[in-house]
Structure 1
Amino acid sequence: MNATRTDRCAECGAAVPTSGDCWTRLHELLEIETRVLPSLDPEAGMRAHFFAVATYQLQHPSRLTREALDRLHASVDEMTGPAPPPIARLRRDMGRFAAGSQKVTRSAPPSDRSHIDARWPVSWSVTAQDVTERAESEYPDAVGRWAVATLADLRVAMAATSR
Structure 2
Amino acid sequence: MPMSKVSHPFRLLDLPGEIRNMIYREALGEPPPWSVGSKSFEFDHVQPPLARVNRQVRVESLAVYYGENTLCVQVRSMEDHSRTISKITQVESDEESDEELMFGKENDEEQLSRFRRMFANLLAGVAEPSGVNGLQFMKKLDVVCFCHLKGSSLPNHATIHQFQPNTPKEKN
State the TM-score, normalizing by the size of structure 1: 0.22
Higher relative contact order (CA 8 A, sep 6+): 1
User: Larger helix proportion, structure 1 or 2?
Assistant: 1
